[in-house]
Amino acid sequence: MQEEELKSAAEKLRSGLISLGFSETKGGSLVKSGAASCVAQFFYNSGGNFAGICEELKERTEGFGAEAFSRYVVYEFVFVSCGDVYEDASDRVIMLRDLYNYLKKQGMVCDVIYYNAETGAYNNAGGGRVKSGELRTVLKNPSGVAANVPSAERTGGTFVPAYIIIGINAAIFITELLLRLRGQSDFIQEWGIQDNGKILSGEVHRLVTAMFLHADFAHISGNMLSLLYLARPMCRTHSPREFLTIYGISGLFGNILSFFFVDALSLGASGAVLGLGGGLIYKMFISPEKAYFKSTGNYISLALMVVYNLIYGLVMTGSGINNFAHFGGFAAGFAVTMLLEKMKRRNAG
């Protein structure tokens, strides 16, 4: 088979996984989060000689140690070529079996699979069945998977929750702007801004509504752009409900903290947004699944952006920045993300 034909066969397998909820990372891997997350990578070679790829994979994981890999993350490496997948004496089978043994010794939960693009047969170098149920389904029927999956199940890694939040904030801001241009009273901000005196008199809704209000265009554009950037990694590794939970609790906790320590009027989504930043920091540097999280993309610039915003608020004294909302939201996001991960692990048994 020609290189293009093998590439087409590999893409068919990838499309099948995407239709079953996997999302593609910048590096080309496919990922799906859940109680047991999965990372899938595909390689193809017309000659069936994968020596270079095997050595590269070994070099990437050399010296990591078992603590770098979570037992709740499965890595699937699929090598697409042509030729007998059951010939135990063949060089390619020995090579892939050696790769599997090496990765297993490193502490990685994985499969190394050889797939024959001509016949559709496949062989798991480690023996036993393929760990990912979605990948097993695709390997058995790569052409028929996408057509049989409801469209609602094809949205792995969706950014929909972030778009909804941005849409709500934008709609409120535009409405406020129109009221001001017409010279009318901005009753939305008057009703929703965080005013501690009115909260004490019973208007506790302000602890929530304040996170959907913004002072000006620079305020809302900065917050919503940050939200969009942070949504990319957080939506890929969390369900929409988990994402909204992290965002909402972070914003609420930040506002509660500022209620106790800040007397001035307050508004803005920055506490909730920095809660996503707290979740990002936890997933990148603390989580037992940090190796999996980092495999979904390079987020170091986002982590630096989060730290910069926290430090900027401390340095710029007298600027009106609500540091209690910022740090409260960040701490809440960190804690909620950690708690959600622990709950998923416990439910996974």
- The catalytic site residues sit at 270, 326
Please name the residue that has the structure tokens 């979740």.
279
For residue 325, count other CB atoms closer than 10 A to its CB: 32
Residues 6+ apart with CB under 8 A from 181: none
Rounded CA-CA distance 131/251 in Å is 38
Q: Angle at CA 261, nearest 5°, toward 206 and 212?
A: 30
Burial class (CB in 10 A: 0-12, 13-18, 19+), 305: middle
For residue 225, count other CB atoms closer than 10 A to its CB: 12
Give the phi and the psi of residue 41 in degrees, each rounded to 5: -130, 140
Cβ(91)–Cβ(125) under 8 Å?
no
Helix (H) or strand (E) holding 80: strand 73-81
Please name the residue that has the structure tokens 């540091």.
323
Burial class (CB in 10 A: 0-12, 13-18, 19+), 63: exposed
Rounded CA-CA distance 231/27 in Å is 18
